[in-house]
Structure 1
Amino acid sequence: MNTSGMLRRYLARVMDNESYFYHVIHCVESQLDDWGHEAVLLFNWMDAVKEISMTFFIDGRLFLLQISKEQAARLQSQNAYQLDRCIWEQLMEQGFQLKNSSYIEKAFC
C-alpha cells in the first residue's frame, strides 16, 4: 500500500482523535487486503468508554487488541504513523507475520 507521509502528518494534525483512529484502522485493513488476507476489523469507540477494544479476524484467526483513547491521542500527536505501529506490534505479539510495503516501512522507521 502506498502512503504519503506529508498527507499523513497533515491528517494527524487536523483530525480529531476518533476520526484519525478510523482512518488508521482503514489503512490497516487496506494493507491486509493488499497482501491478500481476508480480514474483518471490528472496534468499539464509545464516548463513555476510555478503552478501545479491537477484534480482528484475519484469515480465520482471531486477534484481540486494546488501547486507551488517551494513548491513541498521544501516539497521534507524537508521530503520524505511531498509532499504526502500535496496532501492528500488537498483532505481531499474537503471531501475525508482517510483510514489507512502503506503508509498513513508514510505520516502523
Structure 2
Amino acid sequence: MNTSAMLRGYLSKMMDNESYFYHVVNCMEVQLNDWGQEAILLFDWNEHDEVIYVSFIIEDHLYTFSLDQEMAATLQEKSPYSLDRFMWEALVRQGFKLKKSNYIQMAFL
C-alpha cells in the first residue's frame, strides 16, 4: 500500500477523532488485503464508553487489544502515523509478523 505523509498529516489535523480512527483501521485492512491476508477488523467506538475494544481476525488468528478514546486522540495529535504504529505494535506483541511496505515504513519512521 502506498501512502502520502503530506495527505495523512492533513487528515490527522482535519478529521475528528472517530473518523480518523475509522480511516486508520481502513488503511490497516487495505494493507492486510494487499499482503493477501484475509482479515476481519472489528471495533466498538461508542461515544458513551471511553474504551475502544479492537479485535482483528487475520488468517484465523484472533488479535485483541483496547485503548481509550483519549489515547487515540493523543496519538492522532502526536504525529500522522502514531495511531497506526500503536495498533500494528499491539498486533506484533501478540505474534503477528509485519511485512515490508511503504505504509509500514511510514508508520515506523
Interval containing the TM-score (normalised by the shorter chain): over 0.9
| Corresponding residue SS for 1:29 | helix
| 2:85 is aligned with 1:85 | yes
Name segments (4+ residues, structure 1) moved above 3 Å. none
* Corresponding position of 2:105: 105
Query: After superposition, where does 1:23-34 map in structure 2 within 5 Å?
Result: 23-34=23-34
Query: After superposition, where does 1:57-72 map in structure 2 within 5 Å?
Result: 57-72=57-72
TM-score, structure 1 normalization: 0.99
Counterpart-to-counterpart distance in 2, 1:61 and 1:79: 29
What is the identity, as a one-letter code, of the residue corresponding to 1:27? Answer: C
User: How far has the Cα of 1:90 moved from its partner?
Assistant: 0.2
Counterpart-to-counterpart distance in 2, 1:67 and 1:31: 21
User: How far has the Cα of 1:65 moved from its partner?
Assistant: 1.3
* Corresponding position of 1:43: 43
Identity over aligned pairs, percent: 53
| 2:43 is aligned with 1:5 | no
| Corresponding residue SS for 2:46 | coil
Cα RMSD, aligned residues only = 0.4
| Corresponding residue SS for 1:36 | coil
What is the identity, as a one-letter code, of the residue corresponding to 1:17? Answer: N
| Corresponding residue SS for 1:63 | strand
Counterpart-to-counterpart distance in 1, 2:104 and 2:67: 20
Q: How many residues align?
A: 109
What is the identity, as a one-letter code, of the residue corresponding to 1:19? Answer: S
